[in-house]
């Protein structure tokens, strides 16, 4: 697989986009982590203020380990912020905290793409575990139907990555509006939030491009095997 030029032709764009996205998010988070919020509010305070303003007092805000490990858990109604975001009064921290608050609002409003993504997570996790075994077993046993099952299951990651895009873009859009409307970030600082959240969005785009590249490789490989089998049987 790794020796096939087609694999790298299809996967390379996602890899390069991923490297670009990581470089952008690292640079922008580092830069705007040095820019303080107007009234010195931390990421945790930003999240709490925005959640309370939207009537989401039941959503808890907690610190968590890791770097940029910020996320909202719709199952437990907990918004978790990495410590550098939770405790820091910066534009970067405010933007990321507001973004995660956007996910909590999506959950409260039953935003369809988020609801769909949440429900298919167990299916995608199971499919990602079964797919390699089905694919390899199908090749070894020369059972095209089983191999195609593996290919189809690989496609679940692609579908999940695509479904993630509207969820993340919508959360960022909500974040920017909330920060300005509630006076947490001034108009002169919203550019910093834009750069941080836009850089983060590129990581999801890169993941989607990588997922579709890998899936297309398997599809084209199977189609090529089918044509070769037909030609040899003549």
Q: Could you read off the pLDDT tens digit of each residue along the chain, which spans 234 residues?
A: 556 677 778 888 888 999 999 999 999 999 999 999 988 999 999 999 999 999 999 999 999 998 889 999 999 999 999 999 999 999 999 999 999 999 999 999 999 999 998 888 888 889 989 988 998 898 888 888 898 998 888 888 888 988 999 999 999 999 999 999 999 988 788 999 999 999 999 999 998 998 888 888 888 888 876 665 555 555
Q: Whole-prediction pTM value?
A: 0.86
Q: Which residues pair with 20 in a beta bridge?
A: none
Q: How far apart (Å, rounded) are the C-alpha atoms in residues 207 and 88? A: 28
Q: Is 81 helix (H, G, I), strand (E, B) or coil?
A: strand
Q: Which residue has the tokens 């079964």?
A: 130
Using an 8 Å Cβ cutoff, are 171 and 109 in contact? no
Helix pair angle (91-108, 144-181), 10° resolution: 110
Q: Which residue has the tokens 């912020």?
A: 81
What was the pLDDT predicted at 187?
Answer: 79
Closest-CA residue to 118 (of 163, 151, 148): 163
109 is catalytic: no
What was the pLDDT predicted at 225?
Answer: 67
> Beta strand 71-73 with 78-82: parallel, antiparallel or unpaired?
antiparallel
What was the pLDDT predicted at 12?
Answer: 87
Helix pair angle (144-181, 43-53), 10° resolution: 90
What was the pLDDT predicted at 60?
Answer: 97
What was the pLDDT predicted at 135?
Answer: 86
Catalytic residue among 3, 65, 100, 168: 100
Half-sphere exposure of residue 143: CA atoms within 13 angstroms, side-chain side: 12
């Amino acid at each position: 697989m790794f020796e096939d030029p087609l694999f790298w032709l299809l996967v390379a764009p996602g890899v390069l986009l991923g490297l670009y996205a990581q470089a952008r998010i690292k640079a922008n988070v580092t830069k705007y982590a040095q820019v303080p919020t107007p009234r010195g509010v931390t990421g945790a305070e930003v999240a709490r203020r925005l959640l309370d303003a939207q009537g989401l007092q039941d959503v808890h805000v907690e610190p968590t380990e890791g770097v940029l490990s910020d996320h909202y858990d719709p199952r437990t109604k907990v918004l978790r912020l990495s410590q550098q975001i939770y405790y820091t009064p910066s534009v970067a921290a405010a933007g990321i905290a507001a973004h995660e608050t956007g996910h909590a609002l999506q959950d409260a409003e039953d935003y369809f793409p988020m609801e769909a993504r949440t429900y298919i997570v167990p299916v995608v996790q199971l499919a990602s575990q079964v797919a390699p075994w089905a694919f390899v077993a199908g090749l070894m046993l020369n059972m095209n139907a089983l191999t195609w099952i593996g290919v189809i299951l690989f496609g679940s990651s692609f579908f999940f990555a695509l479904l993630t895009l509207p969820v993340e873009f919508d959360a960022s859009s909500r974040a920017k509006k909330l920060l300005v409307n509630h006076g947490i970030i001034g108009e002169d600082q919203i550019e910093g939030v834009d750069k941080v959240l836009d850089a983060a969005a590129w990581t999801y785009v890169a993941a989607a491009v990588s997922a579709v590249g890998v899936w297309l490789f398997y599809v084209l490989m199977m189609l090529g095997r089918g044509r070769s089998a037909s030609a040899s049987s003549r």
